Amino acid sequence: MSIPAALRRRTPRGKPTAGRGLRLPLSSCAVAAVLLAVVLVPLLVPLDEQAVDLTDKLHAPSLAHPFGTDDVGRDVLLRCVYGLRVSLLVGVVAALTATVIGTAVGAAAGAVGGRTDRMVMRVVDVFSSVPHLLLGIFIVAMFRPGVWPVVISVGLTHWLSTARIVRAEVLSLRSRDFVDAAVSGGASRWRVGVRHLLPGVLPQAGLAAVLMVPHAIWHESALSFLGLGLPTHRASLGNMIQDARGTLLAGDWWPTLFPGLFLIVPTLAIASLAGVWRERISPRRRSELML
């Protein structure tokens, strides 16, 4: 055909696209760097969490200690990496726990419907009305400090929103014609749930899980900062910020700043990736061709 020579490109609505183009590569690079660091660094440089070196305390950032040392002479960079590792572990496991619980509860409530649905959702409302940090503190207080109580605490307090999202999604899918068609075609309840409803909610649930990772990391840090999370000698971002509070007033900024950045940058990167994902699965992006 002879036409293409004359064809011109049209920018659809003149939206600024520059920022959006950079978001994906930047955030994926940040997440990749974080993952590499938390996997590789512990393999290369072991950390003795008990070791202190009081002759070397509160050094400003230098070549030997790029992030400086803290008030008992520990290398801030190394502890940041290890702290991030713990935080990521807690964040990911807790987010997964919360998502599994939330998806199960939400999907069950939505699929069964009726009185069960109403009762379950009232319970969810009751739990949601209590600030979940408070609830989390209550849960960790029942255990000895460690990684797992924090995971349990964060997991058990964060499934509520996922349950709501998944239930709403199931309810909207359940009234679709294609579910009716499946029922009419002889599909059992189980088959409708597993084959038609669940695949429909998984993208939403997955998105909720990814969005929850940064949330869970902050939650872990908050618990540790309050002295209720990990044991105080463990390198965790919350513990480090808590330990460094005193030195900040003396003008030693590095033991606070770097753990703070380690908390902010990865969580922002993960949240940004989740945002890209959300755009991908939202219906208005699905069709590139309007026929």
The residue within the footprint of other proteins, chosen from 189, 233, 245, 280 (CB under 8 A), is 189
> How far is the first Cα of the chain from the last one, in angstroms, to the nearest whole number?
21
- Out of 50, 55, 129, 184, the only residue in the binding site for other proteins (CB under 8 A) is 184
Out of 188, 227, 279, 282, point to the residue binding other proteins (CB under 8 A).
188
Alpha-carbon radius of gyration of the chain: 24
Of 276, 217, 230, 199, nearest in space to 93 by CA: 217
Only segment of 50-58, 129-137, 178-186, 218-226 that touches other proteins (CB under 8 A)? 178-186
Among 79, 164, 196, 234, binds other proteins (CB under 8 A): 196
Cα distance between residue 266 and residue 263, in whole Å: 6
With contact defined as beta carbons under 8 Å apart, do 70 and 243 qualify? yes
Which residue lies nearer to other proteins by CB, 48 or 177? Answer: 177
Is 18 a binding residue for other proteins by CB under 8 A? The answer is no
Among 186, 249, 250, 251, binds other proteins (CB under 8 A): 186
Q: For other proteins, which residue of 199, 233, 246, 264 counts as binding (CB under 8 A)?
A: 199
The rounded distance, in Å, linking the Cα atoms of 91 and 238 is 13
Tell which residue, 176, 164, 189, has the closest CA to residue 106: 164
Indicate the Cα dihedral angle 34, 38, 40, 44, nearest 10°: 130
- How many whole angstroms separate alpha carbon 275 and alpha carbon 269? 10
Residue 4 DSSP code: G
Residue 181 lies near other proteins (rule: CB under 8 A): yes
Under the criterion CB under 8 A, does residue 21 sit at the interface with other proteins? no
55 counts as binding other proteins under rule CB under 8 A: no
Are the CB atoms for 79 and 235 separated by under 8 Å?
yes
Nearer to other proteins by Cβ, of 9 and 144: the residue is 9
Q: Which residues pair with 75 in a beta bridge?
A: 69
Q: How far is the CB of 125 from other proteins (least distance, A)?
A: 25
One residue of 42, 61, 145, 200 binding other proteins per CB under 8 A: 200
Residue numbers of the site for other proteins (CB under 8 A)? 1, 3-4, 6-14, 176-178, 180-189, 191-192, 196, 199-200, 286-291
